[in-house]
Structure 1
Amino acid sequence: MPDLQLYDPFATMQFSDEHCFLCGTTITTAQRTPVFGEWMQRNYNLQNKELLMLDKSITTFSQLTIPCCTSCNANHILPLEQEIETAAAGGYEAIKSLDPKKLFQWIGKMYYGSLVTELIREKDPLVMPENPVSENPQMLGRFKTFFQVLQSLRVPMVFSDFLPCSLFIVQADPTEDELPFEYQDELTTMAFSIKLGPVVIVCKLLDNGIIGNVLNRLYKLTEGQQLHPIQIAEFKARVFYAAYIFNVVPDYFVRPGKPDDEQLVLDTLIDDITNEVFNPWDQVAYAHMLEEMLKPWSIREKEILENPQQPLSFLTDDNGELKTINRFER
């Protein structure tokens, strides 16, 4: 019989190098797994690239590992990484054909792995973060909810008519694409993007696909198209800003089962009665987000908001149709 018992490290804040991040089993400090798969580090030469943590300490992709028992690593983490590696080698169509649940789990493992690292470091920080994650009950509640569905990595779990995230997969036009790999995440808004060669995966975790529905028309325009990197930057800005103003946290409920069940079934509910799903859209705040994404092209907020009612767009024209950009010129 499969183990259907969920693990809750948040109840006692059991975040340490002596407990498996996924199942809670007591382990040795040598039992660890990379947050970013070894295949990815190898393919994109990431091993020695530096990452800045919230406590101002510096680590590298190869050093960023999380506590993981031998069983979880061998039976759940490594097979998932191998599946993603195979798809990444096949390019855009192969990644698009992956089970979205597998992509959610893979992205979730990297996101949650970064979070676990921050929580462990907060016990002995180089510099105490201004807003420690461990002292923010609202954020911890959100992360606890997220970990509930991330355990689908280990526990056989069916999501009933939903996926706990919005996923977008776009491809870059190679003409002016100079970055083989890029990674961005926002811990508080749970927005994430990763570039594997010409393929860019953008994700908002823990929204049950709501942002995917909101941006569906724009996303449909990009399907099968090769986008200039500046267009991909704008697409990411739209997803990340939507995540920023997203204002609800889903609740997940394990459906009552029978003793001989071999999987858990999860239902979900979003409180859109007492809470607005989105906070109001603010053009200036969006322009800040877009300016950040457009840094490589030195495009400033003033230019973005030259027409305050219709911010600058490289993705769509005045009729809402996809623009064609092969080479970017000022």
Structure 2
Amino acid sequence: MQFTDTNCFLCGTIITKEHRTPVFGEWLQQKYNLKDKELLLLDKSVTTFGQLGIPCCDRCHTHYMLPLEHEVEQAATKGMAGLQALPPQRLFQWIGKMYYGTLVTELIKEADPLVMPEYAVSEDPKMLGKFRSFYQVLQSLRVPMEFDGFLPCSLFLLEVSPTEDELPFEYQDELTTMAFSIKLGSVAIVCTLLDNGIIRKALGRLSQVAEGQLLHPIQLAEFKARVFYAAYIFNVVPEYFIRPQKPGDDHLVLDTLIDDVTNEIFNPWEMPAYAHMLEEMWKPWSIREQQILQNPSQPISFLLDEHHQFKPMERYVKQV
């Protein structure tokens, strides 16, 4: 794992600064006109989707990155059905590449920042431990690898109703909690990396209710707030172990272990902190924290009714 401009992000091979692969695939940039769209980095410097590249050797770019992007592009042309048919491990790798590419960019920037971030990610031992574990499972991009009975993430695929949806593309990530979401047309992919599917299980009822429905954008934002907040209070880092190999094996098999004896898997769910996350997600609708917590024990929800059933919604009507 090297955070430099002169090592391939995936295999570590020494390269020149010209050897790069786009963090966001070129097909994605073209389809959603992203090339010149600006991104603000943690050190307050500005880049664009088109400029955001990750150090990558020619072999990894040609043999692993391009086929992955081609697979996702083909699946995305078929909308929800295409993305659902894609092997979940490929979606994990695709999201992992974008997440890690953004992370490496931030960490390279931290060595010579425009403005020193208040909390330097590279100086946090716990975060570096998480990145190390993530880097291990990201190697499945180039090393044939099977995760036995688990996927190193929680994946949610949601469909957005076109009635009041004005954003063909949307992207958000939280580097420290490893939460990620990307919207491609009417399909939103929400993912929490490095949780082995625990967050999906913990939010089981929510995903059962929301997946398969046509969500209003405000409902999608609420779903993301719940997932991103769950990632925020997730409190363990899985360990991964490669099974001993036998002659003739053509792939690695990984097992996993989570220390839930000395660590609580989740820190307590605190309504004010969740309401703050929800306020961030609901910024386009100008819904403030005090409105969200009118009833402190039951924050307002556009997604679920009082019986925790799905609340169908076609248009947003501003609350008075």
TM-score normalised to the size of structure 2? 0.98
Alignment pair present for 1:234 and 2:254: no
Task: Give how far 1:259 is off.
Answer: 4.6
SS at match of 1:175: coil
Question: 2:18 matched to which residue of 1?
Answer: 30
SS at match of 2:60: helix
Query: What stretches of structure 1 of length at least 5 have no aligned partner?
Result: 1-8
Letter in 2 for 1:209: G
SS at match of 1:105: helix
The residue correspondences of 1:239-318 to structure 2 (distance < 5 A) are 239-318=227-306
SS at match of 2:256: strand
Question: 1:137 matched to which residue of 2?
Answer: 125
Structure 1: how far apart are the matches of 2:211 and 2:8?
A: 39
Question: 1:214 matched to which residue of 2?
Answer: 202
Equivalent residue for 2:179, pick from 174, 182, 191: 191
4+ residue segments displaced more than 2 Å: 258-261
Deviations 1:85-106 (A, max 9, x none): 1111110111111111000000
Letter in 1 for 2:200: G
Equivalent residue for 2:148, pick from 126, 136, 160: 160
Alignment pair present for 1:176 and 2:164: yes
Deviations 1:127-186 (A, max 9, x none): 222221221111111101111001100111110100000000001000000000000000
SS at match of 2:69: helix
Equivalent residue for 2:66, pick from 73, 78, 81: 78
Alignment pair present for 1:120 and 2:108: yes
Task: Give how far 1:222 is off.
Answer: 1.9
SS at match of 2:102: helix
User: Which is worse superposed, 96-105 or 213-222?
Assistant: 213-222
Structure 2: how far apart are the matches of 1:99 and 1:150?
A: 15
Query: What stretches of structure 2 of length at least 5 have no aligned partner?
Result: none
Task: Give how far 1:31 is off.
Answer: 1.0
Task: Give how far 1:124 is off.
Answer: 1.8
SS at match of 1:290: helix
Identity %: 69
| Aligned pairs, number | 318
Letter in 2 for 1:204: T
SS at match of 1:167: strand
Structure 2: how far apart are the matches of 1:56 and 1:44?
A: 24
TM-score normalised to the size of structure 1? 0.95
Question: 2:86 matched to which residue of 1?
Answer: 98
